[in-house]
Structure 1
């Protein structure tokens, strides 16, 4: 990046995770818990704030393989706003990997 992308001349790597490729992390418990059934059923929510079509992929912690469950062809699901709103915490929204979801 430093050599090829303008603006990154002074960029440097400060820190990485202890293990590259860690996929699971802590998640909040929000006003709604998005489930695998919601995703695979291509559920659309009235308060949806994002759309997704990526399959559910579960990587074996022992490295024995990956289980992939796809949505029906051409389908997508929505992520409800309520998944970003933690229970019992005022004035905070959470986005990205730690939203309120089972997967």
Structure 2
């Protein structure tokens, strides 16, 4: 029974990845449907880059920001838990509070 659930989860993940790839790579279909929906518009898609290229840039920037924030957060957390870094607890606490004011978009 358990292997059936695992298999169905993998099937769902595979279907989601395939759907994402189709959405990103089917620009002619997007252009056709958007021109049908908005016949008065001259430009219906961003012409300077492909949707797949823009998605790749987005994934790269999100990954880089996540990596940097994780490295800085863990380093700051380890620093203030040591005897020599206890003086920096208010600074790290204030930085964490500032970071929490920005909503995830």
Specify which structure has the bigger relative contact order, considering alpha-carbon pairs within 8 angstroms and separated by 6 or more residues.
1
TMscore range, shorter length: under 0.3
TM-score norm. by structure 2 comes to 0.21
TM-score normalized by the length of structure 1: 0.21
Query: Which structure's residues are more often helix, by fraction?
Result: 2
Query: Per residue, is there more strand in 1 or in 2?
Result: 1
Computing the radius of gyration from Cα coordinates, the structure with the larger value is 2
